[in-house]
Amino acid sequence: MTQLIETCNATICRTYARLPVLFVRGEGCRLWDDTGKEYLDFLAGIAVCNLGHSHPLVARAVCEQATTLVHVSNLFYTRPQIELARELTRRSFADKVFFANSGAEANEAAIKLARKYSRDHFGPGRFHIIAMTNSFHGRTLATLSATGQAKVHKGFEPLVEGFSFVPFDSVEAVRQAVTEQTCAVLVEPIQGEGGVRFPSRGYLRELKEFCRAHNLLLIFDEVQVGMGRTGTLFAHEQEEVNPDILTLAKALANGLPIGAMLTHDAVAEAFSAGTHATTFGGTPLVTRAALTTLEIIAEPDFLERVRSVGTYFLQRLTQLKEAHACVREVRGRGLLLAVELDRPAQPVVEYCLEQGFVINCVQDSVIRLAPPLIVEEDQIDRLLPVLDRALSELEAVAA
Ligand SMILES: *Cc1c(COP(=O)(O)O)cnc(C)c1O
């Protein structure tokens, strides 16, 4: 283990602050490290393995596809890609899909499409996108430029032109920021990396009306909160509002790398042949995994269970808040939940890991809980006393 960590540090770019655990196997909500120690996973690889680790149906689909056809390029037709596009459009507002390989690339496609659509319809110069403070849209140059966090920009200037930032959850702020150069508004329906922040009810709908009135495209980044995470296939369904462009990634293929940008025909037209492309986008292997994942997650009973287990989890966390003065707020929808502390939460993450529970924190003081959507109430019951002790220790240290 020590040897491997040394090799890692010597050979892999040091872009990640890793915790000292070497995972070797996963099944459902459980993970095992190289010493055989078992963990319960309340992170799901950052909201990626929504069906849990090594899901038998996804594993079978991947194995079958791996021995049938993995990749031939988008110069040809392949069946799983077409079937996935059909299912995604059937289950959403969208008519068309562009497949990419990550969340950043899905957003990159959305940004390019918004610019191209605006240029086709309104001429040059109208390419600005209004995004939100504390947002997260990825680490490519365009998507980090679209991200409203200075720490993500730092050192990579000059940024891609044409992004401005306004506070999340304020249509008025968007109204004031719009200029003749604005072509789109980019927003996460719930901010994930920004601290698991939920906007007020009605915000997204009002934003849509505003965008429609000003001929602006509304882009929802559901890379983190889509695919059943909040108890509906897409988070925006609960706000009864559709975007013009939707981006998905993380959980779409339950762990295989994929991204997707969805939109309606009128907007998709701006992407004519040759305007945008990617070698790996929508390979038979990943789209087959995604198709299986989507079919399971989209089941009404499955989603209903995410909502009810999520409600239970939130109730349990609310009890935790009552017992600990360091907890500012608990919040959640479906199985995306957060415990916001009045101090750094990393010691809680490390304590839980020692005890065999995987969680993480965002924005220093927010504990994020995003277990596989198949998590059971008794597994939540096992986490709670550990969180309780971790918070007591944290309070004792400060006292
Ligand atoms: C993770 C994330 C991204 C970036 O996805 P990558 O696959 O890491 O490029 C973009 N937007 C949101 C909301 C995310 O949570």
The strand pair at 38-41 and 357-358 is best described as parallel
* Orientation angle between helical segments 300-323 and 284-297, nearest 10 degrees: 70
Pocket test for ligand 1, best of 43, 49, 137, 286 (most atoms within 8 A of CB): 137
**Contact (CB, 8 A) for 42 and 381:** no
Question: For residue 66, how far is its CA from the centre of ligand 1 (angstroms)?
Answer: 26
Question: DSSP assignment, residue 96?
Answer: E
Cα–Cα distance measured from residue 324 to residue 367, given in angstroms and rounded to the nearest whole number: 14
250: annotated active-site residue = yes
| pLDDT value of position 2 | 86
- 50-89 tens-digit pLDDT: 999 999 999 999 999 999 999 999 999 999 999 999 999 9
Mean pLDDT of 132-147: 98
- Number of helices (H) and strands (E) in the chain: give both, helices first: 14, 15
Ligand 1 pocket test, pick from 107, 141, 223, 252 with the greatest ligand atom count within 8 Å of Cβ, gives 223
Q: State the Cα–Cα distance between residues 32 and 4, nearest whole angstrom.
A: 17
First to last CA, the chain: 36
Helix segments in the chain, DSSP class H: 2-11, 44-47, 56-66, 79-90, 103-122, 141-145, 150-153, 171-177, 203-213, 265-268, 284-297, 300-323, 346-354, 377-398
Q: Is 116 a catalytic residue?
A: no
Percent over 70 (pLDDT), the chain: 100
Asked if 250 and 46 touch (Cβ cutoff 8 Å), the reply is yes
Report the separation in Å between the CA atom of 231 and the middle of ligand 1, taken as the mean of its atom positions: 19
The string of pLDDT tens digits covering residues 18-32 is 999 999 999 999 999
Give 161-199 as a DSSP string. SSEEEE-TT-HHHHHHH--TTEEEEEE-SSBSTTTSBPP
Distance CA 99, CA 182 (A): 26
Note the pTM of the prediction, 2 decimals. 0.98
Tell me the pLDDT of the chain averaged across its residues.
97
* Domains, the chain, with CATH or none: 2-54+300-398 (3.90.1150.10), 57-297 (3.40.640.10)
Instruction: Report the relative pairing of strands 23-27 and 30-33 from DSSP bridges.
Output: antiparallel
Give the tokens for residue 147: 């991200």
CA dihedral 250, 190, 211, 260 (to 10 degrees): 10
What is the pLDDT, as a whole number, of residue 242? 98
Confidence of residue 99 (pLDDT cuts 50, 70, 90): very high
Residues in contact with ligand 1 by the CB-under-6-Å rule are: 102-104, 107, 136-138, 188, 192-193, 221, 223-224, 249-250
State the closest ligand 1 atom to the C-alpha of 259, by its place in the atom list counted from 1.
Answer: 7
Task: Choose among 103, 113, 114: nearest CA to 138.
Answer: 103
